[in-house]
Structure formats: C-alpha cells, structure tokens
Amino acid sequence: MRRSACAVAVAAVCALVAGCGAPGGEDDVAAAARQWLAAAEADDAARLCQLLTPAAAQSAATGEETCEQAVGDLDLPGGGSVGRVELWSDEAQVRAGTETLFLVRLSDGWRVNAAGCTPQDDRPYDCDVEG
C-alpha cells in the first residue's frame, strides 16, 4: 500500500513539474510552435496574430498599425523543425533553427508570448514580438 501511494505521489509531482505527457505538456508546446513556424513560413500575419497571447497581439499593434500589419512587416523566421522544448509549468521556451519562441499556457491552449527572439549575452532576449 505504501509503495503505491509513493508511486502516485511521484507521478503527480512529475505531471505538475515536467508535463510528463500530460495535457498541456511538451507535445502541446511543440504543436503550438509548429503552427507558428508554418504561419511564419506562409507569411500568414492573420494566423500569426491568432497564435499570439492577447498581450503580445496588443503590443504588436502599436500606433495606427493593426497586429496583422505590424507582424506582416517583420521578417520572422519560419519553417524548420521544432528543436529543444523547455517547459516550466505554464511557460515554455522553444528553439527551432534560428528562432526562439516563448509560449504561455492560457485557458484555450498554448500561445506565443514572444517571437523572433535573439539572446543578448547576460541580458534578456531581444524579441521582435513580445507580450
């Protein structure tokens, strides 16, 4: 009895911390990143804006430009395959070729909160789109 209680506790911790294949885990993050990369490859600005968090979409729509206009003006990398996925509860980082994406889990699934991100040595990433 004690062994099964321990196994249940370990499984629960694993699911909470790492995703362990649970809904909203690394597979879902990778799927959301693939959608983003496909939309960027197709220059589908409307789809890219749909895949953004509300905060990122609002941030992209600066001045008199809509999100679609602003994102359409960017040279966001697309295509390629999803590489490394790092998952921290409801936040994730995905590397795909030269692209680094940051995603957030919302009530309706994973959304891109920052894209077109490049590392800046010991400073935070510099992103073309961020929420």
CATH class of 22-130: alpha beta
Segments making up each domain of the chain, as ranges? 22-130
pTM: 0.77
Model pLDDT for residues 69-79, shown as the tens digit of each residue: 999 888 787 77
pLDDT at 27 over 70: yes
**Which letter does DSSP use for residue 108 in this model?**
T
Confidence of residue 11 (pLDDT cuts 50, 70, 90): very low
CA 39 to each of CA 4, 18, 86, 123: distance values in angstroms, whole numbers, following the listed order: 45, 27, 22, 29
Q: How far is 129 from 131, CA to CA, in rounded Å?
A: 7
Model pLDDT for residues 60-99, shown as the tens digit of each residue: 988 889 999 999 888 787 777 898 899 999 999 999 888 8
